[in-house]
Chains A and B, each alone.
Chain A
């Protein structure tokens, strides 16, 4: 028996086996078990959905507040620096005037 002939017979055997009907029948209570689980799930309250809209609004508000604080703090810093500079100049002028 040549190799190709043996190979095609082997393939035929495998094909026959895999094609053969080896079905099983569902257990008598299978459908009832499935439906019991389906009814249980349907009776459970729906899980609350994540509030994406509120979450997004909250994130946007936080970002806005952070930007506002940062810009406000920059203004405060500059104002404080300007005030301090003015004070230093004023003190220096007064001391000079005293000295004269």
Chain B
């Protein structure tokens, strides 16, 4: 970063390569569409480049960068809306790393993840950041700029809303097995 601030722009590529997977995957969780995710992540890298000189080092670079990402993704989704069409299982299974558990499970899991995106913004972001940060309440709260207690309350309410949505359909599916 010091090299970039000193004028060595090519050195910024190291930052891009180091953080691209994280930012793209966070965007992916926000929109579930590869092209949009990469587009949003690119916007974040440009914003970060423009404001590198404002990074004071009082927080981890990861936290600073992720906070820019969350703000950017939030603004984009507010402006453009979410491309939440029907679940394209083939597209999801080709995009996601790892072996398929089975088409039905893939569709169910994708449906749950999209249901998170349909939640009110504050619950959606709480859930997305919490699981993205590997269930670390302090890390997710720091990125969102909210108190840990607030995050926990939003997680609780977000999970309640998800449960209400799926209790009926899953309960029936399990009975049918």
Query: A: which residues have CB within 8 A of B?
Result: 6-7, 10-11, 13-14, 17-27, 30-31, 33-35, 37-39, 41-42
Which A residues are in CB contact (< 8 Å) with B41? 30
Query: B: which residues have CB within 8 A of A?
Result: 9-10, 12-13, 16-17, 20-21, 24-25, 28, 34, 37-38, 41-42, 45-46, 49-50, 95-98, 108-109, 112-113, 116, 127, 131, 135, 159, 162-163, 166-167, 170-171
Nearest neighbor of B98 in chain A, beta-carbon distance: A21
Taking A17-B109, A24-B28 as known contacts, 16 extra A-B pairs with beta carbons closer than 8 A to each other, sorted by chain A number, are: A6-B167, A6-B171, A14-B162, A14-B163, A18-B112, A23-B28, A24-B24, A25-B97, A27-B34, A35-B12, A35-B13, A35-B16, A37-B46, A38-B49, A41-B46, A41-B49
Which A residues are in CB contact (< 8 Å) with B162? 14
Q: Considering the chains assembled together, what is the distance between the CA atoms of A13 and B170 in angstroms?
A: 10
Nearest neighbor of B29 in chain A, beta-carbon distance: A22
Which B residues are in CB contact (< 8 Å) with A38? 9, 12, 45-46, 49
B95 touches A39 (CB 8 A): no
| Residue from B38, B127, B170, B171 within 8 A of A30 (CB atoms) | B38
